[in-house]
């Protein structure tokens, strides 16, 4: 695990990992009004696209977009209910 970010609603967690994937997690059996973070968490989606380790993730204020950055010098912006649709990828040149 390289980085984590809670969604603005607090009900979803995104993780950045050394295997270049991003995990989207929800607590099993969680009701909409249940804000307690205790209990078992389930990975509901794996986002793939980066070529090397994913270093960080960050949610938009609405929680509809997730940005991820990687050691491969790209930033991906993910959109959708389970965040499986890529809407943008930006490569950064060497400096």
Q: pLDDT tens-digit profile of 4-55?
A: 999 998 888 999 999 999 999 997 765 555 555 567 889 998 898 898 999 9
User: b or e along 56-76 (b: 16 or more beta carbons within 10 Å of the residue's beta carbon)?
Assistant: ebebeeeeebbbbbbebebbb
Mean pLDDT of 54-58: 94
Q: Is the pLDDT of residue 87 over 50?
A: no
**What is the Cα 48 distance to its own chain's centre?**
10
Specify the CATH number for 3-91; select among 2.60.40, 2.40.10, 1.10.287, 1.10.600: 2.40.10
Q: Is the pLDDT of residue 95 over 60?
A: no
Residue 89 has a pLDDT of 55
């Amino acid at each position: 695990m390289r980085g984590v970010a809670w969604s603005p609603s607090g009900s979803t967690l995104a993780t950045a990992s050394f295997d270049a994937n991003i995990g989207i997690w929800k607590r099993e059996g969680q009701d909409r009004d249940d804000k307690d973070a205790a209990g078992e968490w389930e990975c509901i989606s794996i986002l793939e696209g980066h070529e090397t380790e994913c270093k960080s993730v960050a949610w938009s204020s609405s929680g509809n977009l997730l940005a991820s950055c990687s050691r491969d010098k790209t930033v991906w912006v993910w959109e959708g209910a389970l965040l499986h649709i890529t809407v943008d990828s930006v490569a950064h040149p060497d400096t």
